[in-house]
Structure 1
């Protein structure tokens, strides 16, 4: 993932201008601090799925933001868990550690006014990489008295080293210009890696699975989404211009299957309808989506199944 070319070695005609900058930046944090919402706001496109529940992000997602000044390659990571007992959680933690080892800069995202053991564990993991670290305090719009954050930040930065501190609201898109400018200034002079119109390196097949999973996260009972995943069995463009997508929703038990399907199939139909509409907007064409629900006991703790479902480092 790292570009092996150094800025000094790039011919001038490869750069849009002499000070064009490009590099990989990890958006890292514990679960549910708003990393995916922040990524979407920074690239100006709804790429990462979002829900109110932790562990919504399970894969590294690359979001590309290109401007006249440079190209920032944001890596949205899963939340880092402490005491991960299940294979799924261990896989997510490996994905986080792998991602932060391959970037030039890390933005540690925390929730305004909170610093937990998981935040501390991530800080220690970032410190091991010896890369510049920015502190991004998200959800500041939820703080009625923002001056109350100052002692919290003073104590935090007195014990932890960050190159700079940014107060943002990803949801309200506040504080993002200053954050973007700071990131760009710290990246190397380098030619862009991707075209100016590209927003991710992920395939439509991957994004389709994520959009189905997002609806599962939003619509199902509180504990159930963690026992579900989505596998795309078929994705093809038909001669009539329709994208035909067949997806399997995997659960761990028969009782969970019944919940996903719902009475008379109503829940599954609602999940499919909403996911299809999101796909049509993102893929800019009509979509025919078919969903099945299947049971595989213990898949969350099965390393081979996790790899089959795309949970890799």
Structure 2
């Protein structure tokens, strides 16, 4: 009889290599928000996959790169801290650009950690197969990876094989969470992230990086399959507020309509979503604001 496996898998990599997309693919459900823009993930997001003989607990982390301001440094620290309690580390690089300056930074971090490291070369659907072997050879010389596996997180290529390898390298143990639990994130945090995702996908230039979302209320209506959700979108400047609202409120309406559909999937009810936009110029530097927004532990 095979023994049960369980443990934590920290997913790390530089921004925009597909960490969240891969975790969502492996879970079979959306837990981490995704967008084509780097640094979409700001906090450590847990995803729990319960299998017949194993429980794999994924830790999706912000992208690691050369830190900028205070909030950016906090995100990088969140990612590196996730390595400490991990049983296995999943380092994701991308096939079209497999070893950037930020990857060199991550390599130096991984040289100092104890858990085994499995390398995932993502986005193989974007390169010719002949380019993969030299990339694999190059990485094999850098670190004693337990496995190197090329995948496409968007198309699902090799993700079933990756799942089986993760289980293989996890330690024996009992389930650490209820078998029907998908994440440890509070409902309000997930709703805020779904709204922020729609901002990232709807508004361009640098505006999304100045945005934070705080969910004020989530109230089921009595006797109806309807939930009232109220949330505030914070920005740093009046000009950004104007962009988020849009002419005649058109942009805010678009963001709200798209976010509402995602929130309804999450809650399993119809949703009445009310959004406000407020300016708070210092939120990325204010510890109290970062705690309220869920980016800093109280």
TM range, smaller chain: over 0.9
CA distance in 1, matches of 2:56, 2:141: 29
CA distance in 1, matches of 2:92, 2:107: 10
Q: Contact (CA 8 Å) 2:287, 2:296: kept in 1 or not?
A: no
CA distance in 2, matches of 1:208, 1:300: 20
- 2:263 is the alignment partner of 1:279: yes
Q: Contact (CA 8 Å) 2:111, 2:143: kept in 1 or not?
A: no
Q: Contact (CA 8 Å) 1:95, 1:312: kept in 2 or not?
A: no
In structure 1, what is the equivalent of residue 26 of structure 2? 42
CA distance in 2, matches of 1:65, 1:159: 30
> Aligned ranges for residues 220-259 of structure 1 at < 5 Å?
220-239=203-222, 240-259=224-243
In structure 1, what is the equivalent of residue 273 of structure 2? 289
Task: Choose from 50, 53, 72 the match for 1:66.
Answer: 50
Give 1:157 shift.
Answer: 1.5
Task: Choose from 216, 221, 236 the match for 2:199.
Answer: 216
CA distance in 2, matches of 1:141, 1:283: 34
Give the paired residue count.
Answer: 295
Give 1:18 shift.
Answer: 5.0
Q: Contact (CA 8 Å) 1:87, 1:303: kept in 2 or not?
A: no
Q: Deviations over 1:14-69 (max 9, x none)?
A: xxx75110100011100000000000000000111110000101111111111112
In structure 2, what is the equivalent of residue 186 of structure 1? 169
- 2:111 is the alignment partner of 1:141: no
Give 1:228 shift.
Answer: 0.4
Gaps of 5+ in 2: none
SS of the aligned residue for 2:269 comes to: coil
Give 1:287 shift.
Answer: 1.0
> Aligned ranges for residues 13-24 of structure 1 at < 5 Å?
18-24=2-8
Q: Deviations over 1:277-312 (max 9, x none)?
A: 111112111111110000011322333322221112
Gaps of 5+ in 1: 1-16
In structure 2, what is the equivalent of residue 26 of structure 1? 10
Moved segments of 4+, more than 3 Å: none
CA distance in 2, matches of 1:64, 1:156: 29
Q: What is the aligned-residue RMSD (CA, Å)?
A: 1.3
CA distance in 2, matches of 1:75, 1:218: 23
SS of the aligned residue for 1:299 comes to: coil
